[in-house]
């Protein structure tokens, strides 16, 4: 029964560690994505607020041209910021997808080794039962011979 140990156990342990690392990397990427989405949302809220301010001032009568120019310049800056935030979000979405695919692949590799280990355990159990059956057969033969020998000598 020296071969009862799974030969690829160290590889399976490594694959389990890879899965854990990939899960952590995915969690970090998802957290970064959520934070970036919040930043994008804040930029959009600032734009909406500024647009609302501009509309209120324009509807109020007299306009200060320098104030309007400053607000539109600020609005352009905010729109540029929004565009940059959106690009970051898109990049992080791709990163999260890549991390998810890496995790899926690592889990599949781990499952393959787990199936091999299960087959190995089943094989070892079958072999153990086979050997046990042989031993019981031998015991039965020995008992039969003893019984036969003791019955003939009497």
Q: What is the pLDDT of residue 34?
A: 97
Q: What is the pLDDT of residues 79-129, one digit of tens each?
A: 999 999 999 999 999 999 999 999 999 999 999 999 999 999 999 999 999
SS3 state of residue 9: helix
Given the structure tokens 């020995």, which residue do they identify? 142
Whole-prediction pTM: 0.71
Phi, psi (deg, nearest 5) at residue 61: 115, -110
Q: Most distant CA pair in the chain: distance in Å?
A: 133
The alpha carbon dihedral of 140, 142, 145, 151 has a sign of: negative
And the tokens for 146? 């003893």
All domains of the chain, ordered by start, with CATH? 8-116 (1.10.287.1700)
Residues 6 or more apart whose Cβ sits within 8 Å of residue 35: none
And the tokens for 140? 């039965």
Per the CB < 8 A criterion, the answer to whether 51 and 104 are in contact is no
pLDDT class for 54, splitting at 50, 70, 90? confident
CA angle, residues 22, 38, 73, in degrees to nearest 5 = 135
SS (H, E, C) 23-48: HHHHHHHHHHHHHHHHHHHHHHHHHH
Q: What is the pLDDT of residue 153?
A: 53
């Amino acid at each position: 029964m020296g071969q009862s140990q799974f030969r690829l156990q160290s590889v399976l342990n490594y694959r389990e560690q890879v899965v854990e690392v990939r899960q952590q990397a995915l969690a970090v990427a998802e957290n970064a994505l959520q934070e970036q989405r919040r930043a994008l949302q804040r930029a959009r809220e600032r734009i909406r607020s500024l647009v609302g301010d501009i509309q209120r001032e324009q509807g109020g009568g007299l306009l200060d041209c320098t104030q309007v120019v400053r607000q539109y310049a600020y609005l352009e800056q905010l729109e540029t910021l929004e565009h940059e935030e959106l690009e970051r979000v898109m990049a992080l979405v791709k990163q999260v997808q890549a991390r998810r695919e890496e995790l899926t692949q690592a889990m599949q590799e781990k499952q393959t080794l787990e199936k091999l280990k299960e087959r190995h355990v089943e094989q070892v159990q079958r072999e153990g039962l086979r050997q046990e059956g042989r031993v019981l057969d031998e015991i039965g033969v020995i008992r039969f011979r003893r019984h036969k020998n003791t019955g003939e000598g009497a």
